Amino acid sequence: MKKIWLLTTLLFGSFLLAGCNNTVNNPEIVIEDDCVLGDNNTCTVEIEEPEVTDVENGNSLVIVFSPTGHTKQIATYISEIEGSDLNELIPEIPYTAEDLDYNTNGTRANNEQNDPDARPEIATEFSLDGYDRIYIGYPIWWWTNPKIILTLIEKYDFSGKEIVLFCTSWSSGIGTSESELRGHGLNIIWSKRFAQGASKEEVQEWLESL
């Protein structure tokens, strides 16, 4: 009787051991509560292939300097239309109405624009990782970009990025600014000047033309 019991125990143990070896030697067999029972009573989990999305233009980011809010409105339109992330460029020392009084000699904005070495400090921090295209927006000050834009492009590495410039102004174009920023190494693929108060339809038409 003991021999029969021992033989039964050995056979049952061998069966368990064989099952364990199959599981170890086959990495596709995973024991889980929601597994799928297949041939030979093996239990496997179905693994879905990751979905790959083909993004035509890649991810984009809008960076805007807009002390009066006019350029920020254009930036908001771009962000909404393109699905871009939006970050506002905030100066360490905010600009007051007196700072922006272009008709008065010695104001902050005038002094900065007349000083080739002026680089106003930036309060906000950015990460450019993962972005293929970056929109940079600003108002035109004395026929070109504010000096804080130079602070931005000298502080961060824009190499390998497609740059699209946009600006707002009463009358001045963006040509001088584009030339200056190209001289600082930006890969500018397009630029656009908007009148203050430009509509979302105007912005969308421009974006569709890119």
Encode pLDDT of 138-165 as tens digits: 999 999 999 999 999 999 999 999 999 9
For 51-106, the pLDDT digits (tens) are 323 334 459 999 999 999 999 999 999 999 999 999 999 999 999 999 999 899 99
Confirm if 149 and 78 have CB atoms less than 8 A apart.
no
- Structural class in CATH, domain 60-209: alpha beta
Q: Which two tokens stand for residue 183?
A: 């001289």
Q: How far apart, in whole angstroms, are the C-alpha atoms of residue 97 and residue 107?
A: 10
**To 5 degrees, how large is the angle CA 19–CA 39–CA 43?**
55
Q: What's residue 210's pLDDT?
A: 86
Q: Would you kindly state where each structural domain of the chain is located, as residue ranges?
A: 2-44, 60-209
What pTM value is reported for the model? Answer: 0.72
Q: Where are the alpha helices (DSSP H) in 115-168?
A: 147-155
Beta-carbon contacts of 196 under 8 Å, excluding residues fewer than 6 positions away, are 70, 168, 169, 170
